[in-house]
Structure 1
């Protein structure tokens, strides 16, 4: 999250230029800066476009836009719980049309209950995710030693060369390669930012919207490639420099393979399967397969966890139990947290209207995907993992059909779209594990950090609601560019009006995705030279990778050249340069965003995705 890096850098500058000189004993330590980074990351994820920017519109949309023609009132209004949504007509009119204020008692009275209930629900979700991270932390951080590319920059700018803050990060910020990279990333943003305001000014085309290779494929079957963007985001290329080469290669290779499947479907005239090649289903199967693969790879660790939780091991074997100051909590306490959190989730969802039988599989699938996404961030560190359309609700519809699920359950699914539906770009679980990794590297007190995470989730939820409602009542939720429209309710109406059985082809392609993941992992374990990683396949079958695939080609080539001709030493010396590119884009891109907020004017968006 670039805005978190920008805030962190601002604090560091204030620390160095003001606090250190006048009140050195009050200077922020690296651990305190990482704690701030952690809390801002989690709060930012909650307020993000795939999270509360969806929840806030959805809470009232079904009532504000119900008409006699769409018959939403008869179809599903009776299934929506009053304590989680907004029904009051006067409040809804003000919310969606604007020219009003949040700060009126009739409005606050209507909002307070849904806001508190959703905040508590998200807090419990965050607690379960944190407990799951405690269980997998040692395996991924210490045993497998995953790379965690996303944390390289925050660690670097908060690094300490001494126990005191006066020299913290000084070596990093004095590196000439850092400022060379910063100049490149910053200059591109300055040029494009000016061009956005003055169209006659030159423009450097680097974004997702600037190139579309699909315009050159106009005849069938080649036109089946559809939109074929070729972005060249400098900061994504820089992040790609920190990825393992096989992962970066696999990602863009399977993206091209996805396009080949689309062309093949038209060329072969596969009309019996109208949704061929069922990319969402392939991707869903691949992510679930990835969960199975990583659990199998860590089976020895998880077997040890099981023994320690149930006291089946001897005292000698318990030496490595996750207890003490260097661990967030014991394995046993983590399992207790998962148990009580799960009970709270079941009670919440059943009270909301879900049938008891559907709650466990829904959330089991959700947490399977969550662990797989967390693994992707830990190992690959993609700047986006927009798994659009991949969610427990859609998967269960494919598996058993809408008739079996029932109208009451289908009607609740749109309310869960903000955390298990749209895209997972602001998912909390990867942020938590990345921050635990940072704490482990800097020898922080991770128990206090865990508490800070939970505080950040709850306060971040309240703050996100406040900010979004404050803006919505002024500008109107129907006009400000947040969240999504009534798509989830149109989909719900379609499912209720036209019930469907299980979708056998869709389910089959989920199986294809899962089996492909298993095959790729088998080949990797049997042949050291095998270059294709199952994570690349899982990411690339969904369109979220469109934003970055070509950037990984450039980063792969650059990294291969440096390692081949300069060796590991040259690679390490080049790291500050690529961190500088990232920092340059973040700082200047953040500057344009700040100008836009101050002037209330649309400015350059350096990462349109």
Structure 2
């Protein structure tokens, strides 16, 4: 049984987690949301599990069951994604930096400042200077009033995005989880951690000691460079290729990461081939382009555009494979037929709730001055990429999934001439960079993985759906508080 107290505990922990994440970012002490499995959440789950085992040993009713532990894990994962390096941690510099860094020399105000609505940014330069230089506090009425409007506005957009993602996850859950039976490799560690037998496994503790020992040695190496380091660092081999066309290979890091080795064991063999083969193919493309004289073409061989096309192609293939299932879902929505037991919400509710949230997103864009057609195309592309990333994680379980410079902001401005967009379109699209930077810590995969964890642990999925929305909302505002 999944009790509401798990949602309460998860909500409280979100504030501590957000404060930790924001300060780690400010101090450049780590970016946990740049990998698929957030280590900050794993660490908190470890602490809660240890405390829970101690409480259970006392034979009290205060201990959490497995489904409650996993619900807290999902809430913290969603909240971390929202407050991560590819979402809120980019938004705050965006809404503060425009007027802080504007000068007569760079002419930002005449170039695009007049296309920015008042509610989108903080305009008071004195407050921005105090914020950037320190020696001040958020807890002054003037400061709070300057920040509250843009934070509330952008927070409402993020909550709407979370709701649409959750509704898409509800619609696709049964197809990908029960019919196709995707393996969801990323959830294996938290799933095992919630089982008491995991902590009695000697081999687990041996692996823990090996990986932890490497971390300790690397920490000593950082403090005392005379101590040799072991893995955990990217070594670029590109400088060894000094002659043409081989020097076109670009940044080629080699590293040893224990977490990646462990997660690689869960990747299906046929898909693991693609991971390394196409990376090498990418490097061959760069070298071949240089050898044939195409290096002077801007962006050739257009690797970012290839990445966009690959993800959109994955979305199309996934939807085509699910066409009969999606047809059945639409029929149930139209005729109001009841779904099988175990759905977080009915398909009709998912369509209505998702439609309302999507409509709000469009209204947000219109209020910012964006053209309706640009907003519609932009967010269709965004949710298509989101679905493709979610599918890839559910089937492949890649330790990381970067997608730099390949989002709808880049697709639209690359595929269409600049004259197709108004200045308001381009300005608003630039602000949307905060949730289109790289997709490394995307919230949607964590939502669907949460529904898979619910299936494996007997969690109440309706309460999980509610918890996901709460986590996304609290994650944004708690992280904004932690950042400011």
Same fold (TM over 0.5): yes
Q: Deviations over 1:42-77 (max 9, x none)?
A: 111111111111000000211111111211111111
Which structure has the bigger radius of gyration? Answer: 1
3-state SS of 2:294 partner: coil
CA separation in 1, counterparts of 2:427 and 2:294? 34
Consecutive unaligned residues of structure 1, counting only runs of 5 or more, are 160-168, 313-317, 470-609
Q: How does 1:51-62 map to 2 (within 5 A)?
A: 51-62=87-98
Instruction: Indicate the residue corresponding to 1:27 in structure 2.
Output: 63
* RMSD across aligned positions (CA): 1.3
Report the count of equivalent residues: 447
CA separation in 1, counterparts of 2:407 and 2:267? 27
3-state SS of 1:386 partner: coil
Matched, 1:328 2:344: yes
The answer to whether the 8 A contact 1:439-1:445 is kept is: yes
The answer to whether the 8 A contact 2:78-2:446 is kept is: yes
Instruction: Indicate the residue corresponding to 1:191 in structure 2.
Output: 217
- How far the C-alpha of 1:22 sits from its partner, in A, is 3.8
Instruction: Indicate the residue corresponding to 2:369 in structure 1.
Output: 353
CA separation in 2, counterparts of 1:425 and 1:107? 32
Instruction: Indicate the residue corresponding to 1:462 in structure 2.
Output: 477
CA separation in 1, counterparts of 2:297 and 2:348? 48
- Find the partner of 1:257 among 281, 285, 295: 281
CA separation in 1, counterparts of 2:409 and 2:194? 41
3-state SS of 2:182 partner: coil
Matched, 1:402 2:418: yes
Q: How does 1:361-376 map to 2 (within 5 A)?
A: 361-376=377-392
The answer to whether the 8 A contact 2:177-2:452 is kept is: yes
Q: How does 1:466-485 map to 2 (within 5 A)?
A: 466-469=481-484
Instruction: Indicate the residue corresponding to 1:125 in structure 2.
Output: 161
Instruction: Indicate the residue corresponding to 1:148 in structure 2.
Output: 184
Instruction: Indicate the residue corresponding to 1:74 in structure 2.
Output: 110
Q: How does 1:208-219 map to 2 (within 5 A)?
A: 208=234, 211-219=235-243
Q: How does 1:17-416 map to 2 (within 5 A)?
A: 17=54, 19-22=55-58, 24-159=60-195, 169=196, 171-208=197-234, 211-270=235-294, 273-311=297-335, 321-322=338-339, 324=341, 326-416=342-432
Query: CA 1:272–1:202 in 2, change beyond 3 Å: closer, same or farther?
Result: closer
The answer to whether the 8 A contact 2:264-2:399 is kept is: no
Bigger shift: residues 21-30 or 43-52: 21-30
CA separation in 1, counterparts of 2:377 and 2:138? 38
Instruction: Indicate the residue corresponding to 2:45 in structure 1.
Output: 8
CA separation in 2, counterparts of 1:46 and 1:206? 26
Q: Deviations over 1:89-112 (max 9, x none)?
A: 111111122121111110001111
Instruction: Indicate the residue corresponding to 2:23 in structure 1.
Output: none
3-state SS of 2:156 partner: helix
CA separation in 2, counterparts of 1:265 and 1:322? 53
3-state SS of 1:418 partner: helix
- How far the C-alpha of 1:23 sits from its partner, in A, is 5.6
Bigger shift: residues 189-198 or 235-244: 189-198
CA separation in 1, counterparts of 2:231 and 2:59? 46
- How far the C-alpha of 1:121 sits from its partner, in A, is 1.4
Q: Deviations over 1:447-497 (max 9, x none)?
A: 01100111111111110000000xxxxxxxxxxxxxxxxxxxxxxxxxxxx
- How far the C-alpha of 1:416 sits from its partner, in A, is 0.9
The answer to whether the 8 A contact 1:323-1:330 is kept is: no
The answer to whether the 8 A contact 1:80-1:352 is kept is: yes
3-state SS of 2:282 partner: helix
CA separation in 2, counterparts of 1:214 and 1:400? 34
